[in-house]
Structure 1
Amino acid sequence: MNLWQEYWTPVRVFLGLGAEPQTLTFVQISLRGIIVFMFTLLMVRISARRSLARRTVFDSVFLVILASVLARAINGSADLLPTVGGGFVMVAFHRLLAWIAFYSHGFGNLIKGTEEVLIHNGELVQQGLRSSHITRHDLEEDLRLDLHSDDFKRIQSARLERSGGISFTCK
């Protein structure tokens, strides 16, 4: 037995590599969780943090899928190392799409969406409200929470942003 095998065999047992999911122990699952957590932190650090902070649908879908894939590595329903490797590939793909969106406005709109005008010059824009499925009451609530007012006349514009938040510009 060579040195690599002497080292690798205890690691395989300790992490439950190659074991059936139902045979994993609490300690093995905990260690897998710690490893996946550390690699996930590294993945997020590698990815464009600003894009993940914007919380667009594009980023939310990416995070849900990444979390789902990496959870499989923790619970043993997928092999640990290939799954973590797949997570890095997903991060690289996310960065590639974000890079393309940066240089292509149309592609950016396709994957990240566009903003919708909800108030223009103090008046509600019914088409924007309708297409965004936002009621007058929803808009009033955001106005009260953000600007401590419910007077639309004070608002130059309100937009539903790509992140799902509503931004207000006062007159």
Structure 2
Amino acid sequence: CVCVRVCRYCPVCKKHQLATKKLDLWSLPEVLIIHLKRFSYTKFTREKLETIVDFPLRDLDFSSFLLRRHLSTEEPPSRYDLIAVSNHYGGLRDGHYTSYAQNKDNGQWYYFDDSKVTYASEEQIVTNAAYVLFYHRQDKIRKPSLPAPKESSTSSTTNDITSCKDEEAGLGTSSVTMETD
């Protein structure tokens, strides 16, 4: 059970009242999507919320939120690992979206910004721009879909993987394929 104290408008007394909002969870999905509230609207103000939400990259545990009818040892785990984050930069009326996503084949994180894709580290993922979080349940194994890439004799010191402009100019031939089955 998830309970939150909220201020709601009561149509009977025509006033805002403090209320409890309750949500019961009977089961959990394979992919859990969490939408962070980043915009606040009141009678007098409208603002974007820039608070950093310290979300876990691994082992997000929802077992305490499940409403269990029977205790069972056969229940699947309620733990999740982060697989992607959608970010919003900007204000209420305009903005720019980027994302971080983890390649299921090699565990590498990537940063997507329009036509540019770069490698990312786990330390870069938790920001005040995080808007939508995508988690995958640990008991549902994300199997690699591609064979492991062969080691190349050439190495690059840049963090840039590919860009549409580079491809149009014939400068880039690498690409990143992300699958989440």
Q: Per the shorter chain, which TM-score range? A: under 0.3
TM-score, length of structure 1 as denominator length: 0.20
Higher relative contact order (CA 8 A, sep 6+): 2
Q: Which has the higher helix share?
A: 1
Larger radius of gyration: 1
TM-score, length of structure 2 as denominator length: 0.19
